[in-house]
Homo-oligomer: A and B are copies of this chain.
Amino acid sequence: MTHTGIGPEYPTGSRPDAQAVPAAIAALAARFGNRLVTSRAVCEQHGHTTTWIANEPPDAVVFPQSTADVQEIVRICAARGVPIVPFGTGTSLEGQVNAPRGGVSIDLRDMNRVLDVNAEDLDCVVEPGVTRKQLNEHLRDQGVFFPLDPGADASLGGMAATRASGTNAVRYGTMKDCVLALKAVLANGEVLTTARRAKKSSAGYDLTRLLIGSEGTLGVITELTLRLSGIPEAIAGGVCPFPSLEAACNAVIATIQIGLPVARIELLDEVQVKACNAYSRLALREVPMLFVEFHGTEAAVAEQSERFGQIAAEFGGGPFEWTARAEDRTRLWQARHDAYWAAVALRPGAKPIVTDVCVPISRLAECIMATQADLVESRLVSPIVGHVGDGNFHLALMVDFGDADEVERAEALLGRLVERSLAFEGTCTGEHGVGQGKMKYIATELGGPAVAAMGAIKQALDPQGIMNPGKIVAGL
């Protein structure tokens, strides 16, 4: 393993024997022709993630077009003990698509058909390479939409695999909540159906939820049945300035606790607001801000917006300027979604280390303020952005990787951030997943029995350890 950034410290098992990979590649080439690629550039691109973890490219990339194709690929690799790594859009943040033991990346971009839309049932069936924007484009005229929006235009298969969420999760849940059923190719090449199209079921173990968040370590998702939502009749939203982070967090707590059905409630600290002003040409006051949105009938969203304005005022915030005009809202949320790029532009030459944690909302203010203080003490630059209705927040540390001391300070800060979140009864990741980057925290967060249980499940479903090895649980 070589790393240009900060490296994961976890053992990732050993590579297959020297003959295995060439043999698998030959078999795949015979079957898939030019849908198998071994060029260095393509392989490196498939180990690349939007983050700091060093590139560990696979030996080959294959582009299946069907579940049957994926079965063949898995069988060819399994017969030779060759690792496989599922790949969606490569926008995961913790090294999920790296190939530390080499092997074959399965790029699902050609499996990008919307197979079925059942608007009456608020569900649809898609292949894993469909992206969230592509799906919503497809659904546009049918009165329904898929609500979840991680920053990137990620593939839905990848979003399920990493248990992604985004700004709407406070109202619509995460991928855990928005997937009804999956089909996945298991390590033995068989196709698992986890559930059917009914909205709820208590028919046995929840295999759907077991695969969601398993990051390709238990199976390759080849079909998803997704829960959709009716497009709200009206949407209202706006921005609300606060005198301090603490005041903003307390307004969020009050909003959630009285049950105001907020659809989005996003915190931007003053550093992020400044970055957004510069990047997206906004003219926001450079103080902590909440971006808030309500979905419902016209009367309801107006009532809710007014009510939120009152709550904000109770904590010294406001004025809450809200609008139901789509144009104004779009501009605002585009800026929110561009927060990552705005952060990157903050410090030219530096590269971002993006991370997230999640704590109970009552501890959010304390956790964010301690983290801001830690940034100052560590002489590091990072905006803080949060899906604060869920207690989830992100850093985008802008690090000069040429400065070893700065890299060390960044690494130490990341460790303290996780420790702090755990001390506040939180989790080391709210939505980015474990990948390689956070394996070392699972034992601290959940304890030995949880790590052992995850290992036992991994071993039971993937006895050879070929499914995306070196992620989540230690390899064989």
Contacts and interface: CB of A to CB of B under 8 A. Distances in A.
A162 interface: yes
A467 B8 CA distance: 37
Contacts of A427: 195-196, 198, 200-201, 203
13 contacts: A164-B202, A186-B453, A193-B446, A196-B446, A198-B358, A199-B358, A201-B429, A202-B429, A207-B450, A210-B457, A296-B300, A297-B307, A457-B461
Interface stretch (A120-128, A272-280, A336-344): A120-128
A176 B457 contact: no
Copies in the complex: 2
A65 to B, nearest CB: 21
Nearest to A199: B390
Nearest to A363: B121
Contact of A196 (B143, B218, B425, B459): B425
Nearest to A121: B360
Contacts of A422: 196
Q: Would you list the 3 A-B pairs with minimal beta carbon distance, nearest first?
A: A230-B259, A209-B209, A460-B460
Contact of A230 (B199, B231, B258, B472): B258
Nearest to A358: B198
Interface stretch (A14-22, A45-53, A431-439): A431-439
Contact of A205 (B196, B198, B256, B454): B454
Given A195-B427, A446-B195, A362 B118 contact: yes
A213 B207 contact: no
A379 to B, nearest CB: 29
Contacts of A202: 162-164, 174, 213, 429-434
Interface in A85-140: 118-123
Contacts of A434: 202-204
Contact of A360 (B118, B229, B473): B118
B206 A212 contact: yes
A54 interface: no
A207 B256 contact: no
Given A192-B453, A299-B299, 13 more contacts: A192-B449, A193-B446, A193-B449, A194-B446, A195-B446, A197-B426, A198-B421, A198-B430, A200-B392, A203-B427, A207-B450, A231-B259, A457-B460
